[in-house]
């Protein structure tokens, strides 16, 4: 009898799969959970140093649940997609409250927690318990779309349904945890988005996209749409070497992070006056563009030196004087780190 899809994949995994990633060592449901959230839309090589620092500071679910959101976001700074960190933090608190700190290894239960979708829940269950659970992350979508020439963009409902059906059929009962890791590894290491290494693939002789010289067509591309452009002015307000930061609302753009105050309907002078601060100097800094998934944001920073203290600022939860030379652990937006790094490298601030 010819070997099944799973047999071929597992044979490849035994010889070539990754088995020494940080979350594969001292494996616990908590560490696997953190890794799976970080790996959403982010490559392994990028995740590894963040994961190691994160679990060093938050080694157990209770240490993460009991931490402040500021500290959690600080240890996520630079990894992007910050809703992942907020959801992970909220989910650990829910597990502590509802499950006595024991992570429930049932897909439906995990899916009820913030930030955990169908594929992530299945990956956690499969890897941690060995139970059969079907995953369909970006790597798996690409592998299946190419081998079986499943047409269309995976974000399309019809295409996604076809991919899930194929993934369900192929997922074995035996060695489910290894299979889960194997199919993710195949996509990450061999069936890559660009420059796939087809001669290293166990399905090279049967991949329909390869046989029809159409690998570049699978998976289908997302329909292109020009990204809209927004613009904002950010105020880099400085007093005695401290920089005024404003906490973003808990949801939405950069939710829960600290950023420079933005002004759209007031001049910098008016904004600063409303904070009971006295403007002494101001100068424009170099503008730059920050691109989000759905739009471009053109940022025009204005550096303003002021006189005054927090005494004139009534909302102490919203505003904070940040000392770049002795920084408190806060989650900072990309523009804050970018501008501060530029000013520090130029010697403009110490």
pLDDT at 1: 42
Provide long-range contacts, Cβ within 8 A and 24+ apart, for 156-161: 156/220, 159/219, 159/220
Q: What angle do CA 190, 193, 198 make, to 5 degrees?
A: 35
Same fold, 5-217 and 229-345: no
Report the alpha-carbon distance of residue 249 to residue 172 in Å, rounded. 44
pLDDT class for 50, splitting at 50, 70, 90?
Answer: very high
CATH, range 5-217: 1.10.340.30
Domain residue ranges of the chain, discontinuous segments joined by +: 5-217, 229-345
Q: List, as one string, the DSSP characters of 156-200.
A: SHHHHHHHHHHHHHH--STTHHHHHHHHHHIIIIIS-SSS--GGG
Is 329 an active-site residue? no
Structure confidence by residue, pLDDT tens digits, 185-213:
999 999 999 999 999 999 999 999 999 99
Task: Answer yes or no: CATH 3.40.640.10 is held by domain 229-345.
Answer: no
* Arithmetic mean of pLDDT, 255-263: 93
Kindly report the average pLDDT of the chain as a whole number. 92
pLDDT 10s digits, 290-320: 999 899 999 999 999 998 766 656 666 789 9
The residue among 82 and 312 whose pLDDT is bigger is: 82
């Amino acid at each position: 009898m010819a070997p099944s899809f799973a047999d071929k994949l597992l044979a490849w995994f035994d010889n070539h799969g990754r088995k020494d990633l940080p979350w594969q060592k001292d494996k616990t449901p908590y560490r696997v959970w953190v890794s799976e959230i970080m790996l959403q839309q982010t490559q392994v090589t990028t995740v590894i140093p963040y994961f190691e620092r994160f679990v060093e500071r938050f080694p157990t679910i209770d240490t993460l649940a009991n931490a402040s959101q500021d500290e959690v976001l600080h240890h996520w700074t630079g990894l992007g997609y910050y809703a992942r960190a907020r959801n992970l933090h909220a989910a650990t608190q829910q597990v502590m409250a509802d499950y006595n700190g024991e992570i429930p290894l049932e897909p439906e239960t995990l899916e009820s927690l913030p930030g955990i979708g169908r594929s992530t829940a299945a990956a956690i269950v499969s890897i941690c318990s060995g139970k059969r659970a079907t995953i369909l992350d970006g790597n798996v979508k690409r592998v299946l779309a190419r081998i079986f020439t499943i047409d269309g963009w995976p974000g399309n409902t019809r295409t996604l349904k076809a991919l899930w059906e194929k993934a369900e059929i192929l997922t074995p009962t035996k060695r489910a945890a290894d299979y889960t890791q194997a199919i993710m590894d195949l996509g990450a290491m061999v069936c890559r988005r660009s420059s796939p290494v087809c001669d290293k693939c166990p399905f090279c002789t049967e991949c329909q996209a390869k046989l029809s010289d159409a690998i570049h067509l699978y998976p289908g591309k997302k329909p292109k749409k020009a990204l809209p452009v927004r613009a904002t002015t950010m105020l880099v307000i400085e007093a005695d070497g401290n920089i005024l930061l404003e906490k973003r609302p808990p949801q939405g753009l950069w939710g829960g992070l600290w950023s420079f105050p933005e002004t759209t309907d007031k001049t910098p002078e008016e904004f600063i006056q409303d904070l009971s601060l006295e403007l002494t100097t101001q100068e424009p800094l170099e503008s730059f563009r920050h691109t989000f998934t759905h739009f471009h944001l053109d940022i025009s920073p204005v550096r303003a030196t002021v006189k005054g203290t927090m005494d004139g600022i009534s909302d102490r939860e919203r505003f904070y004087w940040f000392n770049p030379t002795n920084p408190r652990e806060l989650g900072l937006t990309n523009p804050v780190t970018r501008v501060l790094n530029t000013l520090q490298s130029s010697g403009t601030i110490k």
